[in-house]
């Protein structure tokens, strides 16, 4: 059995990658009187990137967030000094071995944007508790928050993430297949992170929170469940307005802690897993064994005996 390849990079190479990315990234970005942050949050596989790219950032050149700095794009991974060697072993391999590097590059982008008080686009997968510690620093700098949260069960996120991984393999795009412990960790971080975002939204006038639901079957298409706009008076009092139902963490919790019970709901899970399994045939040699185990485990769990 051959040894796994070892890759490395230096702090100077992170700076070199940042220096290469930043001119185009910051070109035309101007400081606004009230700095803003657009946060799109949800566990991996919930559909937050799809929401960002296919809805919020459309039309491409005239959407409301043109004057924002996006902290992460998959193409930043290609700046790893050994990326050319990694990609020879496939997109899954390259994604895995550029993870630490791209986090450091994105951190450099954040530091620059935050220091200049530029508007920021941040994707949050709840994969780190650090997301709960940053909002107070942002409100101290006067950042106004616009937060979009996608809620779904862990099972849906997992199957959805596998679908995404298979689609990326077909297109040869950088992606990975999540394991159950990664999703469990994200969900455990969700409450403190969301509450930190909610507190931040209440701290700066006209901040907003939107909460969506996704799921199997009829819930597959994103559905707005709650929305709040926070208005802070000069005396510090906060009033909330809504176009639907006021946001509360309890609504998010009710979405993610809502397992399939009915025969129809369990049938939707089983059907989705079988459809996803059928997609593994094309690239079966590249799909990790745990993907098959996880999908069959969901089928066995929900099958109507």
pLDDT digits (tens, 9 = 90+) for 239-281: 999 999 999 999 999 999 998 989 999 999 999 999 999 999 9
Q: Which candidate, 265, 49, 40, 263, places its Cα nearest to that of 156?
A: 265
Q: Which candidate, 238, 158, 256, 160, places its Cα nearest to that of 198?
A: 238
Provide the angle, in degrees to the nearest 10, between the axes of the packed helices 249-256 and 180-203.
160
pLDDT band at residue 305 using 50, 70 and 90 as cut-offs: low
> Model confidence over 93-140: pLDDT tens digits?
999 999 999 999 999 999 999 999 999 999 999 999 999 999 999 999
Rounded Cα distance, 274 and 261, in Å: 19
**Is the pTM value of this prediction over 0.75?**
yes
Could you give phi then psi for residue 165, rounded to 5 degrees?
Answer: -60, -40
pLDDT band at residue 304 using 50, 70 and 90 as cut-offs: confident
Could you give phi then psi for residue 177, rounded to 5 degrees?
Answer: -105, 125
Task: Please state the CATH superfamily assignment of the domain spanning residues 13-261 in this structure.
Answer: P-loop containing nucleotide triphosphate hydrolases (3.40.50.300)
Report residue 21 as tokens: 């990315």
Domain extents in the chain: 13-261
Find out whether 274 and 299 touch, Cβ atoms under 8 Å. Answer: yes
């Amino acid at each position: 059995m051959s040894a796994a390849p070892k890759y490395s990079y230096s702090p100077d190479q992170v700076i070199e990658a940042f220096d290469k990315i930043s001119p185009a990234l910051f070109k035309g970005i101007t400081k606004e009187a009230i700095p803003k942050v657009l946060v799109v949050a949800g566990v991996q596989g919930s559909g937050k990137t799809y929401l960002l790219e296919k809805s919020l950032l459309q039309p491409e050149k005239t959407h409301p967030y043109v004057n924002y700095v996006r902290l992460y794009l998959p193409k930043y991974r290609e700046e790893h000094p050994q990326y050319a060697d990694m990609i020879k072993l496939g997109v899954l391999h390259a994604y895995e071995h550029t993870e630490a590097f791209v986090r450091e590059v994105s951190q450099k982008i954040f530091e620059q944007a935050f220091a200049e008080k530029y508007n920021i686009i941040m994707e949050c997968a709840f994969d780190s508790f650090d997301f709960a510690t940053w909002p107070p620093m942002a409100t101290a700098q006067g950042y106004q928050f616009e937060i979009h949260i996608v809620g779904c069960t862990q099972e849906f996120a997992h199957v959805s993430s596998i679908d995404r991984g298979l689609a990326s393999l077909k297109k040869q795009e950088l992606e990975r297949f999540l394991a159950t412990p990664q999703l469990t960790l994200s969900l455990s971080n969700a409450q403190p992170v969301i509450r930190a975002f909610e507190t931040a939204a209440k701290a700066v006038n006209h901040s907003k929170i939107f909460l969506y639901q996704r799921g199997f079957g009829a819930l597959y298409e994103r559905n707005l469940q709650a929305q709040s706009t926070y208005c802070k008076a000069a005396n510090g009092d906060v009033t909330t307005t809504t176009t639907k139902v006021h946001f509360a963490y309890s609504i998010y919790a009710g979405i993610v802690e809502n397992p399939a019970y009915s025969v129809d709901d369990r049938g939707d899970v089983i059907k989705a897993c079988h459809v996803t399994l059928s997609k593994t045939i094309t690239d079966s040699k590249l799909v990790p064994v745990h993907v098959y185990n996880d999908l069959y485990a969901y089928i066995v769990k929900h099958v109507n005996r």
